[in-house]
Amino acid sequence: METENPVLKAALDHIFAEPAKPPHRWVRAVVIVHHGRIVAERYAPGIGVDTPLLGYSASKTAINALVGVLVRQGRLEVDAPRRWRPGSRVIRAGPSPWTTCCA
């Protein structure tokens, strides 16, 4: 969803403009959510909404923010015991070129 907002459009243009010299940004996707609604999203060429992207440590921040929202809404108690749900899937990632050891 490309934004109609000229300020957001200019910000996205700047974010996705790759500098000629390092350090490069390597931005691949940006989604802006305001009051629970997506107000802008943009993807680099060859990247789309269904493209898996590595989040590295940023993933921890996003997950913790989402857990905080669920706790505040009363939909999750972090100290409550958890059980395995029958029929749930376990998704295991394949070998990574960044892996330094294997279990």
- Per-residue pLDDT, 96: 59
Residue 103 has a pLDDT of 46
Asked whether 40 and 30 are in contact (CB, 8 A), the reply is yes
Cross-strand partners of 34:
37
* Residue ranges of domains in the chain: 6-72
3-state DSSP call for residue 89? coil
**pLDDT tens string 11-65:** 999 999 988 888 888 899 999 988 989 999 999 999 999 998 888 888 899 899 9
User: pTM of whole model > 0.75?
Assistant: no
